[in-house]
Chains A and B, each alone.
Chain A
């Protein structure tokens, strides 16, 4: 027992460096997903029928194929075939980001659709172009409404990021696995990995909860 704890203690700095990798993965993927997700949502709500169909297909594909399949498909398959030389880390951010974009687009789409249509009408009545109205009127409101859904998406991407160990990204799970298989101390190491993910989920959702309060429009009661 004591010996397990000593091993675990010794492995902690190594695990914590993995936290940096995990956090970078999540920040990168969520950021990529945010930008593309907004564009996809706007396109799906306001785009031409063909744009909508195309985005619908994108969402269907990335929500429908398991993460590990997509990781292998892109990292070992597509990127190699196209001769794009990416590290496992970069490829993982891209794949996680593309998937998150699909999910996030639906969070934003729901938020946009929940706004009263009068908002866009009033903006147009002032002489705003549609793109200006979307940027100045629609998105500031829709994004506020999206924070709770986004927090959900954060916890999912965080946990999904553990799968990238399968392509060799040295994030928390990969490091726990590495130490565990070398020392045969499976229980304490996977337990520690679990606790680390729990803490990251806690901190992230807590932070987003604060953000939600901060951006709340005054006068609206919960």
Chain B
């Protein structure tokens, strides 16, 4: 059980003006683990995830990947690090001017400098994995939300990341489409992908998470296995939040 963590973030703090959106948040994750961040909107989940790969620059805090500290001032190191940390966004952020296939290829050809043919083959494989073989020639505007999110997962997977960060991957989808994206994430989980994910899908969290982290007002309030956090939380705020979410989305038990 003493495996070293793949990714470690320590004391991440972020302020916007006077508002502290993230206060000394720390987290570490071992290979093949899935950790889920929950918490009300504005609690800092997104900021936390984006600070981990420096899409948002933290005011304070350090991040290690495979025991090596990431210095964000070293542009080359930072870009190499980001290649190894896949990111999935709430609103997909597919490149709108590129087809599904080209969206997946571009990281391979432009960042990993892979040859065109090899990149195409790999991109096809990744799109096949997320069930989009028939949609490779479509542009983002021609895809449904669920399909877009699956393309974005394929785009991240194509880089062969060591860790994936998923920032509310289903929050912009209607209920029917949520299932197809969650199914892909379960697949990833089954294949041993290391993931940190923020979500409001507590049922999903209780099913698949190794650990749940409850965040509020930028502070990590409570951490523990799903059964504890979702059903026997210690903190008053966690209890309130979880019962409200259950009221909204139904109980999984």
Residues on B with beta carbons closer than 8 Å to the beta carbon of A219: 138-142
A152 at the interface (CB under 8 A from B): no
A136 touches B55 (CB 8 A): no
Tell me the smallest distance from the CB of A71 to a CB of chain B, in Å. Answer: 38
Tell me the smallest distance from the CB of A215 to a CB of chain B, in Å. Answer: 9
Tell me the smallest distance from the CB of A151 to a CB of chain B, in Å. Answer: 20
B71 at the interface (CB under 8 A from A): no
B154 at the interface (CB under 8 A from A): no
Contact with A along B75-101 (1 / 0, CB 8 A): 100011111011101011111110000
B55 contact from A121, A128, A129, Cβ within 8 A: A121
B55 touches A141 (CB 8 A): no
Q: Which residue of B lies closest to A136 (CB)?
A: B110
B97 touches A125 (CB 8 A): no
B87 touches A125 (CB 8 A): yes
A128 touches B111 (CB 8 A): yes
Q: Quick one: which of B75, B91, B94, B107 has the most chain A CB within 10 A?
A: B107
Residues on A with beta carbons closer than 8 Å to the beta carbon of B79: 127-129
Q: Which residue of B lies closest to A128 (CB)?
A: B111
* CB neighbors of B among A101-133 (8 A): 116, 118-119, 121-129, 132
B94 touches A122 (CB 8 A): yes
| A218-B141 contact, Cβ under 8 Å, with A119-B96, A141-B97 | yes
A125 touches B53 (CB 8 A): yes
Q: Which residue of B lies closest to A130 (CB)?
A: B75
B94 touches A126 (CB 8 A): no
Tell me the smallest distance from the CB of B28 to a CB of chain A, in Å. Answer: 21
B8 at the interface (CB under 8 A from A): no
B55 touches A124 (CB 8 A): yes
B150 at the interface (CB under 8 A from A): no
Q: How many chain A residues touch B (Cβ–Cβ < 8 Å)?
A: 22
B96 touches A118 (CB 8 A): no
Q: Which residue of A lies closest to B141 (CB)?
A: A219
Q: Which residue of A lies closest to B165 (CB)?
A: A125
Tell me the smallest distance from the CB of B72 to a CB of chain A, in Å. Answer: 11
| A136-B106 contact, Cβ under 8 Å, with A121-B55, A122-B94, A127-B111 | yes
Tell me the smallest distance from the CB of A148 to a CB of chain B, in Å. Answer: 16
Tell me the smallest distance from the CB of B159 to a CB of chain A, in Å. Answer: 6
B155 at the interface (CB under 8 A from A): yes
| A119-B111 contact, Cβ under 8 Å, with A125-B87, A219-B140, A219-B141 | no
Tell me the smallest distance from the CB of B80 to a CB of chain A, in Å. Answer: 7
Residues on B with beta carbons closer than 8 Å to the beta carbon of A191: none
A129 to B110, CA, bound (A): 10
Tell me the smallest distance from the CB of B79 to a CB of chain A, in Å. Answer: 5
Tell me the smallest distance from the CB of B104 to a CB of chain A, in Å. Answer: 10
* CB neighbors of A among B130-144 (8 A): 138-142
B141 touches A217 (CB 8 A): yes
A140 at the interface (CB under 8 A from B): yes
A208 at the interface (CB under 8 A from B): no
| A126-B82 contact, Cβ under 8 Å, with A136-B106, A217-B97 | yes
A220 at the interface (CB under 8 A from B): yes
A41 to B9, CA, bound (A): 36
A118 contact from B85, B93, B107, Cβ within 8 A: B93
B93 touches A127 (CB 8 A): no
Tell me the smallest distance from the CB of A109 to a CB of chain B, in Å. Answer: 18
A119 to B92, CA, bound (A): 9
A137 at the interface (CB under 8 A from B): yes
26 contacts between A and B (CB under 8 A): A116-B91, A118-B89, A118-B91, A118-B92, A119-B95, A121-B55, A122-B89, A122-B94, A125-B53, A125-B82, A126-B111, A127-B83, A127-B107, A127-B111, A128-B79, A140-B97, A141-B95, A141-B97, A217-B97, A217-B139, A217-B141, A218-B139, A218-B141, A219-B139, A219-B140, A220-B141
Besides A119-B95, A144-B97, A219-B139, 19 other CB < 8 A contacts? Answer: A118-B89, A118-B91, A118-B92, A121-B55, A122-B87, A124-B55, A125-B85, A125-B156, A127-B82, A127-B107, A128-B107, A128-B111, A129-B75, A132-B111, A218-B139, A218-B141, A218-B142, A219-B142, A220-B141
